[in-house]
Amino acid sequence: MLESEENSESDVPNASDNPKAEVENPCSLCEEEIPIEPLNRVNGRPLCPLCFSQIQDTYLKQKPVLTDIFKGLVGGLVGAFVSGIIWALIVIWTGYEIGYLATGVGFIAGVGVVMTSKGKRGPLMQLTSATCALLGLLLAKYVIFGHFFIDQANQELSTQLSYFSPFVLSQFPLFLPKMFSPFDALWILLALIAALKMTEQQKLVFETL
Ligand SMILES: [Zn+2]
């Protein structure tokens, strides 16, 4: 340290006897000084060997194996179904289809996938969370449809239908296209984006120079 201060006072930059020449920029994360060789970079930012190996380790652990996809699927479906039913109940209780809440179904599907797969991310986990989000929204539509359909059928036809009646289930595909508004396309898109974002793996480029 003393030597470098003397050098800076003399205003003569001399790389050969300046100890600062032995180090590159400080580590982007912990600000420790980094030895000039080997120089580790992530996305062009210099990192000390410890931070570099920790990030590399975390990054590699995000890659899923087959069992991670199944685990993620379970969490994603639970999240999407619970939030989908809550959204449907809000629609039924308020009488308004608060479409933007559907975005939450995508978000919670993504959270579920990441949680039960212990932090796995990437295209396969994105496919999983998007599928869960769509199924959650479909279930929500079924709950909304079923509520009104069952009410009306039971009153007018004196039937005892429930959500699990084969007749109600068989009518759902016929009514589904009629239940879609152009706004639904937007909410579905936003829900998918939320699900994809939650399970996206940040692109990292590792370099050792
Ligand atoms: Zn560091």
Residue 191 has pLDDT above 90, yes or no: yes
Asked if residue 46 belongs to a domain, the reply is yes
Residue-level pLDDT at 2:
41
Tell me how far the alpha carbon of residue 51 lies from the centroid of ligand 1, in angstroms: 4
* Percentage of residues in the chain having pLDDT higher than 90: 71
Asked if residue 153 belongs to a domain, the reply is yes
Residue 48 shares a structural domain with residue 115? no
Residue 29 shares a structural domain with residue 79? no
3-state secondary structure of 20: helix
C-alpha 54/C-alpha 161 separation (Å) is 57
Residue 86 shares a structural domain with residue 137? yes
Asked if residue 208 belongs to a domain, the reply is no
Tell me how far the alpha carbon of residue 118 lies from the centroid of ligand 1, in angstroms: 25
Q: Which domain holds residue 98?
A: 71-198
The model's confidence at residue 159, banded by pLDDT at 50, 70 and 90, is confident
Residue 53 shares a structural domain with residue 75? no
Residue-level pLDDT at 78:
98
Asked if residue 205 belongs to a domain, the reply is no
Total-model pTM: 0.80
Name which residue leads in pLDDT, 15 or 44.
44
Tell me how far the alpha carbon of residue 27 lies from the centroid of ligand 1, in angstroms: 5
How many other CB atoms are found less than 10 A from the CB of residue 171? 16
Residue 120 shares a structural domain with residue 88? yes
Asked if residue 43 belongs to a domain, the reply is yes
Residue 27 shares a structural domain with residue 77? no
C-alpha 191/C-alpha 141 separation (Å) is 14
Tell me how far the alpha carbon of residue 36 lies from the centroid of ligand 1, in angstroms: 14
Tell me how far the alpha carbon of residue 175 lies from the centroid of ligand 1, in angstroms: 58
Residue-level pLDDT at 22:
52
Residue 86 shares a structural domain with residue 159? yes
Residue 45 shares a structural domain with residue 113? no
Tell me how far the alpha carbon of residue 68 lies from the centroid of ligand 1, in angstroms: 30
Tell me how far the alpha carbon of residue 99 lies from the centroid of ligand 1, in angstroms: 45
Tell me how far the alpha carbon of residue 48 lies from the centroid of ligand 1, in angstroms: 4
Residue-level pLDDT at 7:
44
C-alpha 117/C-alpha 115 separation (Å) is 6
CB burial of 109-137 (b: ≥16 within 10 Å; e: otherwise) equals bbbbbbebbeebbeebbbbbbbbbbbbbb
What mean pLDDT is predicted for residues 170-196?
Answer: 92
Residue-level pLDDT at 141:
94
Mean of per-residue pLDDT scores for the chain: 88
Residue 78 shares a structural domain with residue 181? yes
The model's confidence at residue 97, banded by pLDDT at 50, 70 and 90, is confident
The model's confidence at residue 24, banded by pLDDT at 50, 70 and 90, is low
Asked if residue 105 belongs to a domain, the reply is yes
The residue from 35, 60, 85 where one domain ends is: 60
Tell me how far the alpha carbon of residue 53 lies from the centroid of ligand 1, in angstroms: 10
The residue from 15, 34, 60 where one domain ends is: 60
**pLDDT tens figures, 57-82:** 999 999 999 999 999 999 999 999 99
Residue-level pLDDT at 151:
92
C-alpha 83/C-alpha 109 separation (Å) is 8
Asked if residue 8 belongs to a domain, the reply is yes
Contact yes or no for 66/123 (Cβ under 8 A): no
What mean pLDDT is predicted for residues 137-145?
Answer: 96
Residue 148 shares a structural domain with residue 48? no
Residue 113 shares a structural domain with residue 190? yes
Asked if residue 203 belongs to a domain, the reply is no
Tell me how far the alpha carbon of residue 195 lies from the centroid of ligand 1, in angstroms: 32
Residue 38 shares a structural domain with residue 84? no
Contact yes or no for 195/110 (Cβ under 8 A): yes
Our count of domains for the chain comes to 2
Tell me how far the alpha carbon of residue 163 lies from the centroid of ligand 1, in angstroms: 57
Tell me how far the alpha carbon of residue 62 lies from the centroid of ligand 1, in angstroms: 21
Q: Which residues pair with 40 in a beta bridge?
A: 47, 208
- Residue 41 has phi, psi (to 5 degrees) of -130, 145
